[in-house]
Amino acid sequence: MSFPKATEMAHELVAKRIRKRSCVVDATAGNGHDTVFLAERVGPTGKVFAFDIQEAAIEATRVRLEEAGHATQATLKMESHEHLGAHLPKRHHGHVQAIMFNLGYLPGGDKSVTTRWDSTMAALRTSLELISDSGIITVTAYPGHREGGEEANAIVQFGRWLDPREYRVLQYHFLNLTNDPPFLVAIERAPE
Ligand SMILES: C[S@@+](CC[C@H](N)C(=O)[O-])C[C@H]1O[C@@H](n2cnc3c(N)ncnc32)[C@H](O)[C@@H]1O
C-alpha cells in the first residue's frame, strides 16, 4: 500500500463527484486515458468534452475511446482549452461536474508542444464559471521541466488567491521526493 500518485488522486477525487449522465470535460486529452476514465464513469447517457491542440492526441483519444466502447458519449475538439467556454454548449454552463487538466506534453509525442501558463490560467478562470455547485476542477502539474515549473507556480498562486468564500482549493504534493514530482491542485465551490 502506498500513497496514490497525483494523477491517481485526481481520479479518486473526480470519481466521487461524477455519476451516470454527468457532463464532464477533459481539458488535455493527450493519449485519452483520462477521457476514457471519464467516459466510463458518465456512461452513454453522460457527456464528455475533450480538448487538445494536437491532431495526434485527438486521434489517439478517438482510438482509445472506440477500443473501450465509449465513443458515443464523447465529443473531441482540436482546440485550445482556453476557448473551453465557447465550445461547450450553453446548456452545460454551470452544470459541469468535473474538469480535468493533466498538464505538460503528449507522452511519446512532440515534447516542444506543451501546455503554457497563460492559456492554462485562462482555461482555469473559465472553468470556475462552468462547474456546478458540487463540481470539481483537478489540475495535475509537472514542475520538473522549465515551462512546467513556471506553470506550476502560476497554478499555486491562482489557487492561493481564490476567495475562500467562493472556492476551496487543496494541493496534494509529495514533500520529500527529489526532482520536483508532479502535484495535484483541486478546486471545489465553497459550501453555502
Ligand atoms: C500530459 S498530456 C495529457 C494526458 C492525458 N490526459 C491522458 O490521459 O493521456 C498533455 C496534453 O495537453 C495538450 N495541450 C497542450 N496545450 C494545450 C491547450 N492549450 N489546450 C488543450 N490541450 C493542450 C498536449 O498536446 C498534450 O497532449
Q: What spacing in Å lies between the alpha carbon of 190 and ligand 1's midpoint? A: 28
**Residue for cell digits 466510463?**
40
Q: Where along the chain do its domains lie? A: 6-189
- The whole-angstrom separation of Cα 19 and Cα 41 is 6
Which superfamily, per CATH, for 6-189? Vaccinia Virus protein VP39 (3.40.50.150)
Give the closest residue (by CA) to ligand 1 atom 5. 30
> What pLDDT score does 146 carry?
75
Q: 53-86 pLDDT, tens per residue? A: 999 999 999 999 999 999 999 999 999 999 999 9
State which of 53, 88, 116 you would mutate to test the pocket of ligand 1, scoring each by most atoms of that ligand within 8 A of its C-beta: 53
Q: Between β-strands 47-51 and 23-26, what pairing exists: parallel, antiparallel or unpaired?
A: parallel
Q: 149-180 pLDDT, tens per residue? A: 999 999 999 999 999 999 999 999 999 999 99
Give the closest residue (by CA) to ligand 1 atom 26. 106
- The whole-angstrom separation of Cα 4 and Cα 16 is 15
- The whole-angstrom separation of Cα 73 and Cα 54 is 21
> What pLDDT score does 192 carry?
83
Q: 99-122 pLDDT, tens per residue? A: 999 999 999 998 889 999 999 999
- The whole-angstrom separation of Cα 12 and Cα 188 is 14
Q: 7-34 pLDDT, tens per residue? A: 999 999 999 999 999 999 999 999 999 9
